C-alpha cells in the first residue's frame, strides 16, 4: 500500500488536466503569437484559461499574467515593483515567507533596500498592529504569505491588506498554498498582487500566474523576462499552451469543489490529529481549527529528526515531508519554526503531512497506525536521532 501525503509539495495532475493537455499538445500546438488559424486557436485556449483562473479568485481576467509558477510570480511582484524605483526604498515581509519571497527580499536588501521582517506569534500569525507600525513613508510593497506551507497557518489577509490600502501601499500575497483550499476573492479583499501555482491544485508543474489589480498595473511592475512582449509585455516567451490549458481546467474544477473538498479534508485532518494525540512527543505546530489549511498537519517530534521520520515513513510506503533542509551537507533547521520561537532541535525535528483529493479514511487510519508502530520501534532502539 502506498499513501501520498505530501500534497503541499505537489499534487498529481488530475485526469481532466492530463486529457486536456494531451488534446492540446496533439492538435492545438500553434504559437499563440502567430496570426494564422493555428496561432489563433492557441490564443483562444489561453484566453479561456485566463477566464477560468480569474474566476477562481473572482478577478478581472485582464489582471492575470501567466508565469512559470509561484516562484516566478513572487519574484515578479517583489523585484518587478522594486525595479520601478531609481533609488532603493522599503518593503515589508513576514518572518515566515516561502523562499520565493524571502530570497528576493534578501537580494533587494543586498542592493540597498530596507526590508522589515514582521515577527509572528507561536501560531505563526502576523499581528496587524505590527504591520501598521512598520509602514514608512517610503514603503512601496508589503508581501505576506496567505497560508504558510510548513505550518499551514492562515494569515488575517483582509486586515493586513486593508492596513496597506489605507496607507496607499501595494499589498502582495503569496497564495500558492491557499488557492484551491480557501475562498479568495480579490475584488472583495484588499489584495493588489497575488501569486498562484497550478501544481498545488492538480494542474502541472511549471505554470502559474501573478494577479495584478488596476492599482498594481498603474505602478507598472517591470518585467523580469525581456523579449517578444507576450502577456501584455509583462512576461516574454512563447506561452506553454498545454500547461496553461491544464491550469485552466484545474482552476475550474478547484472552484467547483472548493467547499466540499475543504469540509472533507478538514474532517480527515482532524481525524489524524486525534489519532496521533496520544503520542505526547509528537507536538503539533502552527495554528489550530479555522486558522489552519484544511488539508495540513504539522508537528515536531521531541526526539527524532524530521528527515529520519520522513525516511521511516517512506519505507512504510507513506510520503510526507520534513521542515528541515539539507544545505552543504548539514541539516538546516526550518527557519519558519525558528521564527515561531521553537529551538533549533525542535525545528530540525519538524514534519508536515498534507492530505489531498485521493486521501481516504482508510489512508488516515493506516498512516496513524504506521506512525505509532514506527515510533514504538524507534523508542525501543537505544540510538536516538
Ligand atoms: C508558499 C509557496 N510559495 C511559492 C512556492 C513556489 O511555487 P512553484 O513551485 O510553483 O515555483 C511554493 C512551492 O512550494 C510555496 O509553497
Provide φ and ψ at 10, rounded to 5°.
-165, 160
**What stretches of the chain show up as alpha helix (H) in DSSP?**
15-27, 37-56, 70-82, 99-110, 128-134, 157-166, 214-218, 241-276, 306-315, 335-339, 344-348, 361-380
Three-state secondary-structure class, residue 126? strand
| 100 touches ligand 1 (CB under 6 Å) | yes
Residue nearest to atom 14 of ligand 1 (CA): 9
The Cα 24–Cα 22 span in angstroms is: 5
Residue nearest to atom 5 of ligand 1 (CA): 70
| 153 touches ligand 1 (CB under 6 Å) | no
Give which of 141, 139, 138, 144 is closest to 157, Cα–Cα. Answer: 144
Residues near 377 by Cβ (< 8 Å), separated by ≥ 6?
none
| 69 touches ligand 1 (CB under 6 Å) | yes
DSSP assignment string, 143-188: E--SB-TTT-BBP-HHHHHHHHHHTT-EEEEE-TTTBTTB---TTT
The answer to whether the beta carbons of residues 171 and 193 sit under 8 Å apart is yes
What confidence score (pLDDT) does residue 383 get? 59
The dihedral built from the CA positions of residue 134, 129, 145 and 48, taken in this order, carries a sign that is negative
Residues near 166 by Cβ (< 8 Å), separated by ≥ 6?
none
Q: Can you tell me which atom of ligand 1 is nearest the CA of 100?
A: 4
231: left (phi > 0), else alpha (psi -120 to 50), else beta? left
Cell of residue 141, nine digits: 510593497
Cell of residue 119, nine digits: 515577527
> Which listed CATH number (3.90.1150.10, 3.90.1580.10, 3.40.50.620, 3.40.640.10) goes with 15-252?
3.40.640.10
Pocket mutation for ligand 1, best pick of 13, 69, 72, 199 (most atoms within 8 Å of C-beta): 69
Cell of residue 68, nine digits: 512559470
Which DSSP helix (H) or strand (E) runs through 106? helix 99-110
Give which of 255, 160, 267 is closest to 201, Cα–Cα. Answer: 255
DSSP assignment string, 317-351: TEE-EES-EEETTEEEPPHHHHHTT--HHHHHTEE
| 197 touches ligand 1 (CB under 6 Å) | yes
Give which of 182, 216, 171, 176 is closest to 196, Cα–Cα. Answer: 176
| 176 touches ligand 1 (CB under 6 Å) | yes
Cell of residue 198, nine digits: 497550478
The Cα 310–Cα 321 span in angstroms is: 6
| 305 touches ligand 1 (CB under 6 Å) | no
Q: How remote is the CA of residue 145 from the centroid of ligand 1, in Å? A: 11
Q: Can you tell me which atom of ligand 1 is nearest the CA of 71?
A: 11
Residues near 43 by Cβ (< 8 Å), separated by ≥ 6?
32
| 71 touches ligand 1 (CB under 6 Å) | yes
Q: How remote is the CA of residue 100 from the centroid of ligand 1, in Å? A: 7
Residue nearest to atom 16 of ligand 1 (CA): 149
Domain boundaries, the chain: 3-9+258-376, 15-252
- Top CATH class, 3-9+258-376: alpha beta
**Mean pLDDT of successive 10-residue segments in the chain (385 residues)?**
96 98 96 96 98 98 97 96 95 97 98 98 97 98 97 97 98 98 97 98 98 89 90 94 98 98 98 98 92 97 95 97 68 89 94 97 98 96 60
Other C-beta atoms lying within 10 Å of the C-beta of residue 35: 9
The Cα 169–Cα 92 span in angstroms is: 10
The answer to whether the beta carbons of residues 378 and 312 sit under 8 Å apart is yes
The Cα 217–Cα 195 span in angstroms is: 15
Q: How remote is the CA of residue 239 from the centroid of ligand 1, in Å? A: 20
The answer to whether the beta carbons of residues 47 and 39 sit under 8 Å apart is no
Amino acid at each position: 500500500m502506498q499513501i501520498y501525503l505530501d500534497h503541499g509539495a505537489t499534487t498529481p495532475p488530475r485526469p481532466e488536466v492530463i486529457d486536456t493537455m494531451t488534446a492540446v499538445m496533439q492538435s492545438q500546438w500553434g504559437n499563440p503569437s502567430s496570426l494564422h488559424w493555428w496561432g489563433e486557436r492557441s490564443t483562444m485556449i489561453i484566453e479561456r484559461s485566463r477566464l477560468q483562473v480569474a474566476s477562481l479568485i473572482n478577478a478581472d481576467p485582464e489582471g492575470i499574467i501567466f508565469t512559470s509558477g509561484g516562484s516566478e510570480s513572487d519574484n515578479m511582484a517583489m523585484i518587478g515593483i522594486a525595479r520601478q524605483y531609481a533609488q532603493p526604498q522599503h518593503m515589508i515581509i513576514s518572518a515566515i515567507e516561502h523562499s520565493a519571497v524571502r530570497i528576493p527580499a534578501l537580494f533587494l536588501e543586498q542592493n540597498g533596500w530596507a526590508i522589515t521582517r514582521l515577527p509572528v506569534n507561536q501560531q505563526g500569525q502576523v499581528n496587524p498592529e505590527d504591520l501598521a507600525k512598520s509602514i514608512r513613508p517610503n514603503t512601496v510593497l508589503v508581501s505576506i504569505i496567505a497560508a504558510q506551507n510548513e505550518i499551514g497557518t492562515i494569515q488575517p489577509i483582509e486586515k493586513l491588506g486593508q492596513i496597506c490600502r489605507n496607507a496607499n501601499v501595494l499589498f502582495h500575497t503569496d497564495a500558492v498554498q491557499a488557492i484551491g483550499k480557501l475562498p479568495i476573492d480579490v475584488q472583495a479583499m484588499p489584495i493588489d498582487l497575488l501569486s498562484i501555482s497550478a501544481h498545488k491544485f492538480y494542474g502541472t508543474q511549471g505554470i502559474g500566474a501573478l494577479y495584478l489589480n488596476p492599482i498594481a498595473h498603474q505602478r507598472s511592475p517591470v518585467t523580469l523576462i525581456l523579449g517578444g512582449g507576450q502577456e501584455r509585455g509583462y512576461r516574454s516567451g512563447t506561452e506553454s499552451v498545454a500547461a496553461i490549458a491544464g491550469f485552466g481546467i484545474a482552476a475550474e474544477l478547484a472552484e467547483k469543489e472548493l467547499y466540499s473538498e475543504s469540509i472533507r479534508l478538514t474532517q480527515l485532518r482532524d481525524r489524524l490529529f486525534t489519532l496521533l494525540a496520544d503520542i505526547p512527543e509528537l507536538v503539533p505546530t502552527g495554528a489550530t481549527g479555522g486558522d489552519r489549511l484544511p488539508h495540513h498537519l504539522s508537528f515536531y517530534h521531541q526526539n527524532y529528526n524530521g528527515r529520519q521520520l520522513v525516511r521511516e515513513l517512506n519505507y512504510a510506503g507513506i510520503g510526507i515531508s520534513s521542515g528541515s533542509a539539507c544545505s552543504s551537507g548539514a541539516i538546516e533547521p526550518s527557519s519558519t519554526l525558528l521564527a515561531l520561537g521553537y529551538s533549533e532541535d525542535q525545528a530540525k525535528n519538524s514534519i508536515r503531512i498534507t492530505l489531498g483529493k485521493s486521501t481516504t479514511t482508510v489512508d488516515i487510519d493506516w498512516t496513524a497506525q504506521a506512525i505509532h508502530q514506527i515510533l514504538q520501534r524507534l523508542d525501543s532502539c537505544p540510538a536516538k536521532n
